[in-house]
Amino acid sequence: MFWFLCLTTLTAMASVPIYRIFGSSIRYRSRLLCQHFSSSFNLLNQSSTNQFSSSDSKEKFRIYTRTGDSGTSGLFSGERRPKDDAIFEALGTTDELTSCIGFAREFINDPVILDELEQIQCILQDLQATVATPKSSSNEFQIRKTKWNVNHLIDLEKWLEVHTAKLPPLRNFILPSGGKAASSLHLARAICRRAERRLIPLLDEGLELPVVQYLNRLSSYLFIVARVCCQQEGHKEVVYWERPKYNSQDDD
């Protein structure tokens, strides 16, 4: 029974592509689930003995796998590439982006924006699954499981229109600032721009253009909600001012 429950759980988890991307953490969670089922099984069978020694238990809960010690990492397709490959550059920057969005959420009070940002973080997980499934080394099943949903872009554009309507027209450049929420969102916007640039080389490997378009629109969304948060918290937007002119002698 114990092994059947473990096998069922792991089989269900394996059907979700993102679990193959973050192998170490998912294997760790799988071991936690197995340990949970093991404990429950032992409670129902008081006469049974502990199936694992102390050393085995330590091994079960080890989060690292050593598979990346040689400088390579695996994709959903099973292919292994150097860790400085363009795909991992894109995945790493997107991970940095979602982490920064999570950080920004800690300072935001608007429930609508909070909900949207949480949805965006989930969508970025799907985006990473798509990026980690290059067409050159993936089969039809893998490509189908990680196919990008264009509705993500449609929803994001609707949110953009709603938030933009709350703001006065922007007639000047503004400096990233406006309180903790706005400033952290501006930081996320800058990272989003970099993540978009990291995706461009992957178009040659068959990455669909709508994936890049999503990050392009996301950077605009983060800019707009940063302005909204600035306004909600009563901060003043800092307008870019003209650089002072110096005499030629001052340049020396």
- Provide the residue ranges of all domains of the chain, joining segments of one domain with +: 2-60, 72-232
* pLDDT value of position 32: 38
**Measured between alpha carbons, how far is 181 from 168 in angstroms, rounded to an integer?**
19
Output the CA angle 153-231-112, nearest 5 degrees: 45
* pLDDT value of position 248: 61
Calculate the average pLDDT of the chain.
Answer: 80
Share of the chain above pLDDT 70, in %: 73
Is 14's pLDDT higher than 70? no
pLDDT, tens digit (0-9, with 9 covering 90-100), for 78-116: 889 888 889 999 999 999 999 999 999 999 999 999 999
User: How much helix, strand and coil, in percent to the nearest 5, is found in the chain?
Assistant: 65, 5, 35
pLDDT, tens digit (0-9, with 9 covering 90-100), for 21-67: 444 443 333 343 334 333 433 333 333 334 434 445 455 667 888 88
**Measured between alpha carbons, how far is 157 from 130 in angstroms, rounded to an integer?**
21
pLDDT band at 246 (very low <50, low <70, confident <90, very high): confident
pLDDT band at 172 (very low <50, low <70, confident <90, very high): confident
* Coil, helix or strand at residue 74: strand
Which H helix or E strand runs over 82? strand 80-82
**Measured between alpha carbons, how far is 221 from 244 in angstroms, rounded to an integer?**
32
DSSP 15: T
* pLDDT value of position 21: 40
**Measured between alpha carbons, how far is 92 from 95 in angstroms, rounded to an integer?**
5
pLDDT, tens digit (0-9, with 9 covering 90-100), for 200-234: 999 998 999 999 999 999 999 999 999 999 999 99
CATH architecture for segment(s) 72-232: Up-down Bundle (1.20)
Average pLDDT score over residue span 171-190: 95
* pLDDT value of position 129: 92
DSSP 239: B
* pLDDT value of position 240: 83
Which H helix or E strand runs over 188? helix 180-199
Are 250 and 183 within 8 A, CB to CB? no
**Measured between alpha carbons, how far is 33 from 10 in angstroms, rounded to an integer?**
9
Are 229 and 108 within 8 A, CB to CB? yes
First and final C-alpha spacing in the chain: 82
